[in-house]
Amino acid sequence: MAAGHRVVATGRRPDRVEQALGAHDDLLATRLDVTSPSDADAAVAAAVRRFGRVDVLVNNAGNSYPGYFEEIPPEHMRAQIETTLFEPMNFTRAGLPLMRGQRGGHIITISSIDGLAGLEFCAAYATAKFGVEGWMESLRHDVEPFGIRTTVVNPGLFRTEFLAEPSKTWPRPSTDDYAQRPAALLPAWQGKSGAQPGDPAKLAASLVTLADAADPPPRWIVGDDALATAEAKARQLLAQVEASRRSGSGLNHPPFERQEERTAETVTARGRAR
């Protein structure tokens, strides 16, 4: 709002959103349970009634179920994917018809550096965020012909409440083989809460700048830790490409025309044999 934008701020308790931000002519606080497609449709409809259009849609909700894959209950894995992947899909699906009609808009989805590089103890979260990456990269090609831009944001660790309850559900070890490892990992993870290096206010300000850009980037990696991780993953991927080239190339079928010619020759030869 300070930058001159009209803002639709959503939450499960919109009265708390408005209380935190204060009443303002350019603010609409409306209800959104991120797992509810009907809430997403209603939030977009409320935005149109109030402001007439939606130019920027930001998917930012998330949670985390850390743990080793074997020990993550199936219901937690499903809940992780429901909130972190299907929620932004629901909300984007609700907003896309409007943006297509406008022939313009910008969809920004907050992913994570964990969407580019998997980490120990993060199987559920990385699974959902890797899904976000593939969805957003493909969505870009779907909607660019309508003047709609997309940006996936890969932040590192920023000093939000993401590592605190209730955003994160800490696991209970259930397998002897894994029992000792969380003893070192859990205190390290829990100790990061409130001590992350990134400043969320600076990130928010830069997101406003990103939303105003005439030609926004399809990917935006933010935070020194995220940049270092992404660079290391890029080098690792290039090394894997080169290692694969030795045995992974030259595996194509012969060109289709040659196969067709061989088939014709075989039929002719058989005909002569008869």
Catalytic residue positions, numbered:
125
Residues 6+ apart with CB under 8 A from 228: none
206 contacts 223 by C-beta, under 8 angstroms = no
Partnered with residue 262 across adjacent β-strands are none
CA distance 181 to 212: 45
**DSSP letter string over 95-136?**
HHHHHHHHT-EEEEEE--GGGTS--TTBHHHHHHHHHHHHHH
Residues 6+ apart with CB under 8 A from 223: 113, 155, 156, 157, 158, 197, 198, 203
Other beta carbons less than 10 A from residue 20's beta carbon: 10
